[in-house]
Chains A and B, each alone.
Chain A
């Protein structure tokens, strides 16, 4: 039960990520032996067809899964810690919807083509979505409770979803390419977009690790945190920026992948307890492993056909959400 002080925990997590990473690359329309996968990574041979497929298509997809899984899980854990709301998550609180809406509007409506601007637009959208959800919830009688935030998040997500559909109907040709992305997928993204998002991922994860200690104190209640010397107004702003950055980069790469940020932090807390200095890195590791597994399943379940990664995260996440509401709210 306690992975707290042993070296076993990190070794197990990193080991499973490595194994899943190789397996993830091996799986696909044509399955490639794990040995060939390993070979293509250590001794790349450009005349080998399998090696080229791995380098150009499958390796990027596995890297996307690792970074996006880690980022969404860390974003969810910080949100749950700072708001002391077990249901806080980028998807349920409108950040994914806001980011998707902003990207669709910018790419489809205003013809944005520069990859470097996509995370910026997504960040503005995520921030807008979060502020909108929180403002609505805060004006409900009783204030921003976990329940009012979830309801407000559902309303904002539905509203922005309707606007996205409307834009799609007005110009079906332009939006055809965005249609699959909008269901949340790790396939078909160009490496170019990812490279532009990489500083966002790295920056967000570094901030998350740096504030983890203060988040633990804030999770004990605002008055206790003030007594311990936490500047809670400043901490909340830093965490908001961190969550927006991680969510925006994830959406820019993979579209809206729901429930990853909800499920992983709860699983991690069962394993390592309530110290965010452990929760943040373990969320990153287990989130990465989780999204690799999900994406393997997305390609195996109906093989040779493939389903969107976002559909699988929702299929797994929604029952978990129901269980959380029944036990924690």
Chain B
């Protein structure tokens, strides 16, 4: 799959030399005349998890929407596997890049299997509706996300974590090189968040998919992502591996957060511990 990446865009390699699966150049974008992203360039390396983090309103979700062609940028270009996104038909894009939006809602009565089967949409046409390849992709996606046992249950009756697994199964069934996810762990229990992040990590590692994930939880980004892109006020403030980007200085500069950064004793990955700001009763 990675060999398909064509270098139509000059400089389609990030600083570490890995080919860029999805990226953008000099993007400006916003809503109704209000500019949120101003001259942003970004690239997600093939086969890696790239986490977009930043304070509320920094433009991380807007950047993901531009990459996903939900929002048309007012300037700049987006590239997908070496091709200009604006020149590809939307169905062709969907064969190469999947999107899990924030807080998706399944129509009433839709079963898990029907939801996952929707992922095959871009591979079907009016005349060629369902093949054994489609069935195999759905089955494999449900097995990997561990929702096969729920196949005939309506999605609406499941718990939040199970539901999110079903949606991830749907984008997996789409069988694309690139997967974009907008805050896939928000509103879930801590344990379920860990499960979802572990699943995403497996998808990137075993299936060699490129994942771009908007994350709210900084420590998850540090624990699971290969690269972290920190944004602030519509600009990329710093990017690199978790070890490169996580420091007291950057957290202060990007998040206005007073925190110490230590290394996870088991994995060596950085962990941030916010400092408590309370009047110290002993000092009083």
Contact = CB atoms under 8 A, between A and B. Distances in A.
A228 B70 CA distance: 11
Contacts of A210: 126
B99 A229 contact: no
A177 interface: no
Nearest to B68: A227
B109 A230 contact: no
Nearest to B115: A220
A220 B99 contact: no
Interface in B49-75: 65, 68-70
B107 A220 contact: yes
B94 A227 contact: yes
Interface residues of B, number: 33
Interface string B72-104: 000000000000000000111111001111001
B108 A216 contact: no
A227 B91 contact: no
A219 interface: yes
Interface string A204-241: 00000010010011011111101111110000000000
Given A213-B121, A273-B114, A229 B107 contact: no
Contacts of B121: 213, 217, 228-230
A210 B127 CA distance: 10
B2 interface: no
B70 A226 contact: yes
B114 A275 contact: yes
A231 B105 contact: no
Interface-centre pick from A217, A222, A275 (highest chain B CB count, 10 A)? A275
B107 A227 contact: no
Interface residues of A, number: 21
Interface string B108-124: 11110010001101101
B272 interface: no
A216 B129 CA distance: 14
B95 A229 contact: yes
B171 interface: yes
Given A213-B121, A274-B114, A227 B109 contact: no
Interface in B118-172: 118-119, 121-122, 124, 126, 129, 171
Given A223-B70, A273-B114, A213 B107 contact: no
B170 to A, nearest CB: 8
Contact of B94 (A219, A220, A229): A229
A221 B90 contact: no
A269 interface: yes
B126 A227 contact: no
B210 to A, nearest CB: 15
B182 to A, nearest CB: 8
A231 B90 contact: yes
B106 interface: yes
A1 to B, nearest CB: 10
B166 to A, nearest CB: 12
Contact of B101 (A224, A230, A231): A224
Given A219-B107, A220-B104, A274-B107, A227 B98 contact: yes
A274 B101 contact: no
Interface of A: 210, 213, 216-217, 219-224, 226-231, 269-270, 273-275
8 contacts: A210-B126, A216-B118, A220-B118, A226-B70, A227-B99, A273-B110, A273-B111, A274-B108
Q: Pick the 4 closest A-B CB pairs, nearest first.
A: A229-B94, A227-B99, A223-B101, A229-B122
Given A227-B94, A228-B94, 17 more contacts: A210-B126, A213-B124, A217-B118, A220-B104, A221-B104, A223-B65, A224-B101, A226-B69, A227-B68, A227-B100, A228-B118, A228-B121, A229-B92, A229-B121, A230-B121, A274-B107, A274-B110
